[in-house]
A and B are shown apart, each in its own frame.
Chain A
């Protein structure tokens, strides 16, 4: 496909030197595209590689990381770019909002000054103009009395407010892509809904692409156009959110769906759980990484890892024995439909 804002191909991230010189394959060959105006969610558990794969694009990984593969942002190859060039490029195009706004903000600096600093880092403006834009940005993220808030310190703001400030800072560079890494995880449910609404509103207004990195399949399904599910450093399933909700194919995605308590379920109904833990990223199995925990696993799953392929229009999965797709709660379907 053409016209993508960001094209990632066979991205791999390996950490070396940690834990007695062993190699840890954090991201193991990931390929996907992000389009302008799209909301793409990347879902996975801790250690699935969802955050590392995005930080790799931003040049935010420690020097122990080796990054290979291709990541083209509007045609420009980001992998292998010098730090300076990457910073320049990143600042102009991509911004990131993290989980913990309290730790991302400077506690000793007034909020307005922090936003103005971000504005001046990306544009040549006078101090007064930067200050003015800071107020505008705060207004844009719906902070009441933005002039007054500008002269406050982060500790004077609530968690939701601080996250709005982080979003304002992210918007200072007028990014084409905004990456929200668990940006609402630490927030209360009503605040989370407010922040998600704000992100979608800003996205529509500014025509940005939005990437939601989350462990929460429910959140991803509710707000994203497209959902990618990662496990042990690989993409195991990708589909439009509506398609995924009704036709899960990869048993791991199904396990995630079933493990989430839902409002519509009756109380005390046991949650379907799978045993075991994700594999050690320093010793990934030869076959499918999910095989030891999978109820549909067979011999061929141990022999070779299933490739990620588009089996149905717009729906990719990596599984030798996908389930029937009878729905989020559906029974496992036909076996051995290798394609």
Chain B
């Protein structure tokens, strides 16, 4: 593919100094987001997925690596030029109330990013605010304040703020995780509708596998600061290559295996002292000496009809035989 990706993240590293030592939160992550696609990132608490999201928008700036968004490397930009470059890259967070000033009215909250970017005059801005509120299904709520809104409505305001500036990419960090299922479904459908209507791309970060599958074209799996697997959503879920992805899928309640097999043991190691080699090896049923000695590189393996399924593992879970697995088959029914 020669098409230039919308976002190119390369060798991104983010480390924090703490009393306990250096936290290796993100340790060399690379991926692309193409125009119009949704890339999902699945990871558990402590995987570094939220740090990754913030490093992409340079808040705070990563330790090293590059983040090329629409041709400009955000890591090298400063001040007004960074602000301009970031204009079409917006974020929606988990807690909508935390990101909305409780004293402001909805219309002022949505207008704020337009003022920050000195967009139009008051009349055109107000018109844009009405447009955007209509788009997210909040027409008629413009004079309310955050405390008069439900969680779902507040999240819609956050989305309206993100959408107001006509972004090309929205990073959603657990954006629907705190909502009740029925509200969550409404907001997910809203994300999908906006994608179709506005041609948006998303980087959709969440811990919930089914949620990520629902909205994503491609899915990346993150563990302890590194990506372990990237590929088309259907492929990754149907034929996971990394033992960690397999373990995650087996942990979802309701899957055939969730009750039949033992879940992975133990806890993720501390990001202050990550294991040598493969970071998952301390909990991996397939780990060998090589996994401790040598860090597995991300490489592409053919698993299905679509290209681009990559894994960072010395002993990936390869398809049992050449027999194609039909997508209707339940995950986890491969013979032991």
Contacts and interface: CB of A to CB of B under 8 A. Distances in A.
A271 interface: yes
Interface in B291-336: 328, 330-331
A222 B258 contact: yes
A274 interface: yes
Contact of A261 (B188, B253, B330): B188
Contact of B214 (A219, A255, A271, A277): A271
B32 interface: no
B188 A271 contact: yes
Given A159-B45, A192-B251, A264-B331, 8 more contacts: A160-B267, A189-B209, A190-B44, A256-B182, A259-B182, A261-B210, A268-B215, A274-B182
B209 A263 contact: yes
A190 B181 contact: no
Contacts of A221: 253-254
B263 A194 contact: yes
Interface string A176-204: 00000000000011111110110000000
A265 interface: yes
Contacts, number: 116
Contact of B210 (A256, A262, A270): A262
Interface residues of B, number: 44
Size range of the chain A interface in the assembly: 35 or more
Contact of A196 (B189, B217, B253): B253
A272 B214 CA distance: 13
A197 B262 contact: yes
Contacts of B184: 259
Interface of B: 44-45, 150, 180-182, 184-186, 188-189, 192, 207-211, 213-217, 233-234, 237, 247-255, 258-259, 262-265, 267, 328, 330-331
A216 B182 CA distance: 11
A255 B182 contact: yes
Nearest to B210: A261
B234 A266 contact: yes
Interface in A219-262: 219, 221-223, 255-256, 258-262
Nearest to A187: B45
Contacts of A161: 267
Contacts of A222: 253-254, 258-259
A178 B304 CA distance: 46
